[in-house]
Amino acid sequence: MTPRQTSAEDVGQAPALTIDALGKKCPIPIIMLAERINHVPLNGIVSVLADDPAAFTDIPAWCRLKSHHHVASYELPQGGWAIHVRRNY
Amino acid sequence: MAYFDAASTEPLHPQAREALIAALDAGWADPARLYGPARRAKMLLEQARAEIAEVLGCRSDELSFTASGTQAVHLGVLGALRGRRRAGSRLVVSAVEHSSVLHAGQVHEAGGGSVETVGVGRTGVVDLEAFGAAVRAEGTALACLQSANHEVGTAQPVAEAAELCAAAGVPLLVDAAQTAGRAPVPPGWSLLAASAHKWGGPAGVGVLAVRKGTRWRSPLPEDERERRRVPGFENVPAIVAAAAALRAVAAEAEREGARLAALVDRVRAEVPRLVPDVEVIGEPVARVPHIVTFSCLYVEGEALLTELDRAGFSVSSGSSCTASTLRPSHVLEAMGVLTHGNVRVSLPRGTSEADVDRFLSVLPDAVRRIREEAGVKL
């Protein structure tokens, strides 16, 4: 899968925090992300590991609603995605 | 109790009920036979066909009755592809078509054909430029576009799509399930499918119209019913009731549509004001009058449906937890909008203002309770 909504300067930036939401159904991965995004510094990257298909759509949608930045979603070898989000404020 | 799930099925119209009961006595015989009761059943069937054809804007002999809207779509898609085999084997669909269109496409693919899916924008409107390019591509046999989306209420630019199809010489199948009886069918279609229980008729009646001159070959074993288009004995009483309902709703469509649209406008405006962290979904202006969809952040769709049911509201959801497949709605996915915490409110004919007000008063607490129980402190 090609990453969606990529911007060159963010892709490849190492995540400052990884949230393991594998096996968790939406909205739980989103709740975990919302609670912890402020644990990374401004412009830091949070990587959410999730395998609920809803998370693949909902995390980018959450970013849009909350004015954070969805960097890219990378497929994981074991299934699911690492969904990278940049803290904007 | 307030029933807000008209997009799934509209309650039976009183005139349909009356017509159904009368036709159970008058229209039970086999319309294909030649004796008195059969001739009467045949007359009722053909009268219903003429009435429905008039409302939908086609000729009687172009219109066939099917067992459901889904069957009408299946037969329309697969029959048109079969009839156009020599032109090619590409099927073009929008990404937000009803599952019946997408499932027919899967059968087509399994048989060696190809399906090109055209994306939609954030409000669910098909990308017309991409649609045009897709139908112009070599070997396109058929294109499909719904009149309006069943989950978010967004109206599609069918007339414009039909022009693009006509210019490319490709037939267009329009799935008008959400608008038949509520709004005039946009011009330019080659095949049209709809479902009676969505306009207040009984379940078990779909309609498939195939324009004169459109190539079509039945994908099913041959049968003489319905001009060889649909196999099986027609459900004459239900068809008569479907015609009665369509006549009645079409006559009041403009007035009732405006009334429901005002109620929907109120829901669209009030929900984001009353409930924090909500996304109202779908086209704000170019839409059907009776459907409004929104998603509540951090809320499980199933929990919200249960809470609303307890408060006396029947609504539906596109969230994955409410689907038997446990996948989110393909419509919400294609639009790139929030899929969890999703609620579709679709107002049946006669919905009272008081019921909508009560919904708006119950919803904020329901959402707050679910968020609290999930430990959301945001």
B285 to A26, B212, B326: CA distances (angstroms): 30, 34, 31
Domain extent for B369: 253-373
- Chain B residues with CB under 8 Å of A53 CB are 320, 327-328
Q: Are residues B42 and B147 in the same domain?
A: yes
Quick one: closest CA in B to A5, which residue? B336
Same domain, B261 and B226: no
CA dihedral B222, B51, B249, B30 (to 10 degrees): -50
Same domain flag for B295 and B184: no
CB atoms within 10 A of CB B53: 18
CA angle (B253, B46, B41) in 5-degree steps:
115
Q: B9 lies in a domain?
A: no
Position A5 scores a pLDDT of 47
Angle at B66 between CA B197 and CA B221, to 5 degrees: 155
Query: Which structural domain range is residue A54 located in?
Result: 17-86
The amino acid at B116: E
Tokens of B95: 């990404």
Task: Please report whether residue A23 resides in a domain.
Answer: yes
Facing A61 at nearest CB: one of B327, B338, B378? B338
pLDDT at A11: 66
B299: which chain A residues are within 8 Å (Cβ-Cβ)?
27
Q: Does any domain span residue B90?
A: yes
In this structure, the answer to whether residues B222 and B257 fall within a common structural domain is no
A80 lies in a domain? yes
- Of B196, B229, B248, the position where a domain reaches its end is B248
Around Cβ A78, how many Cβ atoms within 10 Å? Answer: 8
Cα dist from B297 to A63, B193, B345, whole Å: 12, 35, 17
Which amino acid, residue B53?
Answer: A
For residue A27, cis peptide bond before it (omega within 30 degrees of 0)? yes
Domains held by chain B: number? 2
d(C-alpha B181, C-alpha B356), whole Å: 23
What confidence category does residue A2 fall into, taking pLDDT thresholds of 50, 70 and 90?
very low
Distance from CA of B293 to the nearest CA of A (A): 15
Contact, B279 vs A65, CB < 8 A? yes
DSSP letter assigned to residue B270: H
Residue-wise pLDDT tens for chain B (378 aa)?
899 999 999 999 999 999 999 999 999 999 999 999 999 999 999 999 999 999 999 999 999 999 999 999 999 999 999 999 999 999 999 999 999 999 999 999 999 999 999 999 999 999 999 999 999 999 999 999 999 999 999 999 999 999 999 999 999 999 999 999 999 999 999 999 999 999 999 999 999 999 999 999 999 998 999 999 999 999 999 999 999 999 999 999 999 999 999 999 999 999 999 999 999 999 999 999 999 999 999 999 999 999 999 999 999 998 877 777 778 999 999 999 999 999 999 999 999 999 999 999 999 999 999 999 988 876
For the stretch A18-44, pLDDT in tens is: 999 999 999 999 999 999 999 999 999
In a domain, B128, yes or no: yes
The residue out of B248, B263, B292 marking a domain boundary is B248
What residue of A is the nearest CA neighbor of B300?
Answer: A27
Grade residue A10 by pLDDT with cuts at 50, 70 and 90. low
Residue B376: the pLDDT is: 87
Give the closest-approach CA distance of A5 to chain B in angstroms: 12
CATH number at residue A81: 3.30.110.40
Q: Is B340 in contact with A31 (Cβ distance < 8 A)? A: no
Residue B240 inside a domain? The answer is yes
A63 is catalytic: no
Cα B133 to Cα B118: distance, rounded to the nearest angstrom? 10
B91 vs B273: CA distance, rounded Å: 43
Domains contained in chain A, number? 1
CATH number at residue B310: 3.90.1150.10
Please, are residues B41 and B31 in contact by the beta-carbon 8 Å criterion?
Answer: yes
Quick one: B197 and B258 in the same domain? no
> Is the predicted pLDDT of residue A8 greater than 60, yes or no?
no
pLDDT digits (tens, 9 = 90+) for A61-77: 999 999 999 999 999 99
**Beta carbons of A34 and B332 less than 8 Å apart:** no
Helix (H) or strand (E) holding B306, with range, is: helix B301-310
In a domain, A39, yes or no: yes
* B122 falls within a domain: yes
Backbone region of residue A22 per phi and psi (left: phi > 0; alpha: psi in -120 to 50; beta: other values): beta
Q: What is the mean pLDDT of chain A?
A: 90
For residue B28, what are the contacts with CB-CB under 8 A and spacing of at least 6? B37, B41, B236, B237
Is there a domain that residue B197 lies in?
yes
Residues B62 and B75 in one domain: yes
The answer to whether position A51 is within a domain reads yes
Contacts of B354 (CB under 8 A, 6+ apart): none
Report if residue B3 sits inside a domain: no
Let me know if residue B378 belongs to a domain: no
Give domain status of residue A1, yes or no: no
Determine the 3-state secondary structure of B336 from DSSP. coil
**Same-domain pairing of B262 and B244:** no
Do B267 and B236 sit in the same domain of this protein?
Answer: no
- What is the chain A residue with the closest CA to B371? A31
The reply to whether B83 and B187 lie within a common domain is yes
> Angle at the Cα of A70 (from A66 to A75), degrees rounded to 5?
135
Q: What is the CA angle B372-B326-A87, rounded to 5?
A: 55
Whether B191 and B289 map to the same domain: the answer is no
- Can you tell me the distance from the alpha carbon of B340 to that of B322, in angstroms, rounded to the nearest whole number? 10
Do you know the residue count of chain A? Answer: 89
**Residues B235 and B309 both lie in one domain:** no
Catalytic residues of B: 321
Is the same domain home to B299 and B264? Answer: yes
pLDDT band at A9 (very low <50, low <70, confident <90, very high): low
User: How many alpha carbons fall within 13 Å on the CB side of residue B334?
Assistant: 23
**CATH at residue B189:** 3.40.640.10
Q: Assess if residue A30 is contained within a domain.
A: yes
- R_g of chain A computed on alpha carbons: 11
Is residue A56 in a domain? yes
Which candidate in A16, A17, A22, A26 is catalytic? A26
Last residue of a domain, one of B231, B248, B265: B248
